[in-house]
Amino acid sequence: MKNIRRKLTSVTAAAAAIVMAVSMNGVTANAATKASYNTKWNSQIGWTSILGAGFLKTTDADSAYRQLRNAFMYQVISEGDVLELANTEGITIPAEALKRLSSEGWISGYTYKMIAKLPLEPSDMSAVYDADYYYANNLWLQGVIDPNDKNALFQNFLAVGMQVGAKGNASFDPAAYRASNKDMETAYGDNWANYYVNYLLYHGHILPYQG
């Protein structure tokens, strides 16, 4: 439950950034938790805390890339953990490392752009958004926005569609996703943008182990 609450807090902050800045773009590294088994040790430290300790010192882009890539390779962190680390006071993750991770498919363009504070593009939100689907399946857009104006459609999705729970593509149904997790529904309620962000950060955008 503690980890769920921590993730929900990170997601709420990320969703708020979208709402406030549309296309632009308190979190601390995950705290030690009580062990769930008998041990002489008082707590167990999560991987986010371990990685965070390394980023407290000046870290060059290549070293940062390798640390995060290995963590993703062994599936010990999520994109949400990376966003949490980046929002932790005293920690800086080089934008070049994030760009490289994104180009290789370890993280989404969404996570890279949010941390680097770069404008979001439709491809960054492809897990939840497709322009043609969004226009064709939300009748209230038709006759209001030119379907050929992809930028206007995308800005509408960020500013309006995500706030009302509109389906942005065929693969992600925000209503079904909301219903799938009662803890998440209790935390977010009708703040629909949070469900999209949660899905982007935690739905499993991880490449398989590559040896």
When the pLDDT of each residue in the chain is averaged and rounded to a whole number, the result is 82
Prediction pTM value: 0.76
- The pLDDT tens digits for 97-128 are 999 999 999 999 999 999 999 999 999 999 99
Report the candidate in 46, 65, 45 with the shortest Cα–Cα distance to residue 55. 65
Report the candidate in 119, 114, 141 with the shortest Cα–Cα distance to residue 196. 114
Structure confidence at residue 31 (pLDDT): 41
Token pair belonging to 113: 């752009």
